[in-house]
Chain A
């Protein structure tokens, strides 16, 4: 597989655009409002409705199934959201200007902190702990995976080849035909890849979201995540082993039965077929050759045709692409709209400031920024260390095709495996050997995230042209100089994509990694992640949202200042053409 992890078309050229300035306060403001309103009338949270989890390994298949179903539900919601919002952003310029920065902010939101706010609301609305918790968990998984999918769909629509859209217009395709014959197929390879990446990243959140604490009450949803949570409480190393094993099986099945067949299938929709070996999947071959599957799809197709004939809604009828007369945009309403947004944002900032002053105080804000800085340092150091280790290894692997074809699936597997299942083992070790948690808890943040670096570097190194390597051989470019002149520049674009994803994942992971427990003991490192976790457990809404807001700001800043710049340099300097 020669894919890379999702590329992110950045919203704006500048590192901060005026839309950020308007939208960021709005987003944080909405959080504040939700948290504030949610805490005004405390929901009837009682653990009575919460599931009780048995540590018997015999029940694990059932728990695994439930975790998987949660994932499935979230992905369905994500796909619907992607198609609607991506389409909207691509077709309306006004929507585009707001939605795209919003998606960018969205992917910087620390999901784990935010799930508890969602949970509070879900409980309020549904008055049913299990249902509310289910919905909040699914919502959390959804928010962890939807952004890059929506981005990729939007981007595909924006990059539809002009010739094809013209042909679609000349042959007067209906809206439905346009969608099903042109837009969706064109988006398919990227959409499938991003969806699969999202699902892989999502296992982490499934595990985390199944055991949440809200206002001091622990709420458990039956699944692998809650199973391991209970195992930690009981200090049951055996049960933890079983949970890791079960997850291993789940991820393997997912990899073989969903991920690989889908990626191989999406190959068909590529404008320019992959060079070299196409991704393959035994499952896909099986499906393609099976007479039963063929019969079922044919039946479905016929039913669809019949349905369409009987109804024939308007969007299915031939469409005359009305040549639109280019209008100079109505400036007055545009200005009004912009001013309106600006006013709303200023008002939000005002109320935010007042609320923070009263609820938490200025000192607290300063404190949160300070501990945010600690976490920032951790993320930077860890990504740096991970790069130091995995870039050379990744390049070496990528240069060897045989090794690559073995390593790639393994790395994909590792990136999907929820690292938080391994946390208790670390906690156990830190406690046993009396290690300093400030330092030794940090590696947990990067444990699941570093594979993104490795995977992308392998993919990048794979594409180093053979003739460049031959030139390097013939002029005797060796050692460090060879790395500096050939390998590092060649993998930089791929590395940036990987590093960006890894850093984002590390921020998210900090919420569960900076504070871990083992039985009655809780080990904590000071940082923004543990702050958010503590405030979540305590049900202190203003502080929780303050923590979330500060983390969004840090993540955005790091993306814009570091990664976007690197990305541009990589794009302009090191791409051919």
Chain B
């Protein structure tokens, strides 16, 4: 079987605020063969959408090669089409005009444009809605327009960037089944589908092969063929076993950060997890099992969370020493138990202790505040330091996470208006009022 798309040692760097390269993808190699659906799974921020954009020709790789039919991709290709998470419909065009964009761009004659457009609209079950504007449609119908628009150009390769994640569960199920029918009954000329997903179940329901992206910079951590027959039953033994297996792979520690200041450790991407949710997870684990162990798959089910929602929490718990994971199972640690059992004020003390002990950035910030005479430090300084590792946006996100944690633990105060960190608690402002 020949490869439709082939990636060879793809690396992607973004230019950081100080013109230093920040690598998000490194050494990514895989191929997309004919007649298969491949799902690309990874935690949020793992670069999976970037990878998809590289294949779509929207952004070039920094190094490595991307081949489409054995020729390098240098821009968008007529044979590669895409479905977007947010649908990306043009709100001022009606359904017909949205779907016609592709044929119109190919400058077919008017009758042919019309024929193709109507055909695609029929195929995806949108007939009757031709003159509707996107704002008049439900989410599911909007994404159908997204599919019709992608399929009308009869692409060889269909790229899907989390196509179902903005939809509610029953809607996404229907749409997924419809797509699978079209694919399996060969009603669409598409020869291969690559889907980015953050839902393990969704990936396992659709794909013939699973690629797991992980690490910083990210690379393909594991590849998993799925040989279940369609229609797949998510409650079957085999399916559940696969889910557990994927969780196990995804919690295997990735390679540690390397870099000049990595020794200090402030270049760690703190997961976007809030304390209340962390407590929720701990609570769930201790409720579900007396031994303080719970499979992540079960936990995700119980809390109705997807991978990209639950992994930041798990990562934060591990980072703070409240839990550990092994083979897709979450274990509560002693300090995790203690944290959970404590009352509101004690919790803050325990959390603060863990934070300063185990998170270098927290230690760094408190030390910096101590070192100043007036015990005030501007956030600019920390952002600049973080910029050595991250893009502007990421640096701000990391600092925001730390501010939230630090405020909860009351290890420092942070003033939003002035952007200053300080030791003191905020003084009662305008007490005279």
The answer to whether B135 touches A273 (Cβ under 8 A) is yes
Contacts A321-B57, A323-B60 known; A305 to B101 CB distance under 8 Å?
no
Residues of B near A328 (CB, < 8 A) are 15, 19
Contact string, B54-80, partner A, CB cutoff 8 A, digits 1/0?
Answer: 001111100000000000011111101
Q: Is B149 an interface residue (CB 8 A)?
A: yes
Q: Measured between alpha carbons, how far is A161 from B89 in the docked complex, in Å?
A: 11
Which has the most chain A C-beta neighbours within 10 Å: B75, B82, B109, B133? Answer: B75
Residues of A near B56 (CB, < 8 A) are 166, 170
Q: Is B107 an interface residue (CB 8 A)?
A: yes
Q: Quick one: closest B residue to A306, CB to CB?
A: B110
The answer to whether A573 touches B58 (Cβ under 8 A) is no
Q: Is A312 an interface residue (CB 8 A)?
A: yes
Residues of B near A181 (CB, < 8 A) are 90, 93, 101
The answer to whether B417 touches A320 (Cβ under 8 A) is no
A452 to chain B: closest CB distance in Å?
A: 28
Q: Is B53 an interface residue (CB 8 A)?
A: yes
Contact string, B91-103, partner A, CB cutoff 8 A, digits 1/0?
Answer: 1110000000110
Q: Measured between alpha carbons, how far is A270 from B134 in the docked complex, in Å?
A: 12
Contacts A163-B84, A167-B82 known; A573 to B107 CB distance under 8 Å?
no
Q: Is B199 an interface residue (CB 8 A)?
A: no
Q: Quick one: closest A residue to B54, CB to CB?
A: A323
Q: Measured between alpha carbons, how far is A161 from B109 in the docked complex, in Å?
A: 30
The answer to whether A172 touches B92 (Cβ under 8 A) is no
Question: Pick the contact of A268 from B15, B92, B153 — CB < 8 Å?
Answer: B92
Residues of A near B19 (CB, < 8 A) are 328
The answer to whether B76 touches A170 (Cβ under 8 A) is yes
Q: Quick one: closest A residue to B77, CB to CB?
A: A320
The answer to whether A166 touches B92 (Cβ under 8 A) is no
The answer to whether B81 touches A170 (Cβ under 8 A) is yes
B230 to chain A: closest CB distance in Å?
A: 28
Residues of A near B344 (CB, < 8 A) are none
Q: Is B106 an interface residue (CB 8 A)?
A: yes
Q: Is A434 an interface residue (CB 8 A)?
A: no
Give chain A interface residues in 287-337, CB to chain B under 8 Å: 305, 309, 312, 316-326, 328
Q: Quick one: closest A residue to B60, CB to CB?
A: A323
Q: Measured between alpha carbons, how far is A174 from B149 in the docked complex, in Å?
A: 16
Q: Is B88 an interface residue (CB 8 A)?
A: yes
Residues of B near A166 (CB, < 8 A) are 53, 56, 58, 82, 84, 88
Q: Is A39 an interface residue (CB 8 A)?
A: no
Number of A-B contacts (CB under 8 A): 98
Which has the most chain B C-beta neighbours within 10 Å: A166, A173, A309, A316? Answer: A166
The answer to whether B90 touches A185 (Cβ under 8 A) is yes
The answer to whether B76 touches A270 (Cβ under 8 A) is no
Q: Is A169 an interface residue (CB 8 A)?
A: yes
Q: Measured between alpha carbons, how far is A188 from B91 in the docked complex, in Å?
A: 12
Q: Is B379 an interface residue (CB 8 A)?
A: no
Contacts A185-B90, A269-B92, A326-B15 known; A321 to B417 CB distance under 8 Å?
no
A185 to chain B: closest CB distance in Å?
A: 4
Q: Is A344 an interface residue (CB 8 A)?
A: no
Interface majority SS on B: helix, strand, loop or mixed?
A: loop
Contact string, A154-181, partner B, CB cutoff 8 A, digits 1/0?
Answer: 0000000101101101111110010001
Q: Is A271 an interface residue (CB 8 A)?
A: yes
Question: Pick the contact of B91 from A271, A322, A323 — CB < 8 Å?
Answer: A271
The answer to whether B58 touches A170 (Cβ under 8 A) is yes
Residues of B near A477 (CB, < 8 A) are none
The answer to whether A320 touches B75 (Cβ under 8 A) is yes
Q: Quick one: closest B residue to A309, CB to CB?
A: B109
Q: Measured between alpha carbons, how far is A182 from B90 in the docked complex, in Å?
A: 7
Residues of A near B73 (CB, < 8 A) are 323
Q: Quick one: closest B residue to A312, CB to CB?
A: B107
Give chain B interface residues in 379-433, CB to chain A under 8 Å: 417
The answer to whether B84 touches A167 (Cβ under 8 A) is yes
Q: Measured between alpha carbons, how far is A324 from B60 in the docked complex, in Å?
A: 7
Question: Pick the contact of A173 from B53, B75, B105, B110 — CB < 8 Å?
Answer: B105
Q: Measured between alpha carbons, how far is A5 from B231 in the docked complex, in Å?
A: 57
Residues of A near B110 (CB, < 8 A) are 305
Q: Is A572 an interface residue (CB 8 A)?
A: yes
Q: Is B86 an interface residue (CB 8 A)?
A: yes
Q: Measured between alpha carbons, how far is A321 from B82 in the docked complex, in Å?
A: 14
Residues of B near A320 (CB, < 8 A) are 75-77
Q: Is B306 an interface residue (CB 8 A)?
A: no
Residues of B near A573 (CB, < 8 A) are 417
Q: Is B104 an interface residue (CB 8 A)?
A: yes
The answer to whether B105 touches A171 (Cβ under 8 A) is yes
Residues of B near A268 (CB, < 8 A) are 92, 133
B272 to chain A: closest CB distance in Å?
A: 16
Residues of A near B74 (CB, < 8 A) are 322-323
Contacts A166-B53, A174-B105 known; A323 to B88 CB distance under 8 Å?
no
The answer to whether B86 touches A163 (Cβ under 8 A) is yes
The answer to whether B101 touches A173 (Cβ under 8 A) is yes
Q: Quick one: closest B residue to A186, CB to CB?
A: B92
Residues of A near B149 (CB, < 8 A) are 167, 171
A477 to chain B: closest CB distance in Å?
A: 12
Q: List 10 A-B contacts (CB under 8 A).
A: A163-B84, A166-B82, A169-B58, A169-B76, A170-B76, A171-B81, A171-B101, A181-B101, A318-B78, A326-B15
Given contacts A172-B105, A185-B93, A320-B77, 7 further A-B contacts (CB under 8 A): A163-B88, A171-B102, A177-B104, A182-B90, A185-B92, A321-B58, A324-B60
Residues of B within 8 A of A (CB): 15, 19, 53, 56-60, 73-78, 80-82, 84, 86-88, 90-93, 101-102, 104-107, 109-110, 133, 135, 149, 153, 417
Q: Which 6 interchain pairs have the tightest Cβ spacing? A: A163-B88, A185-B92, A167-B88, A322-B75, A323-B60, A320-B75
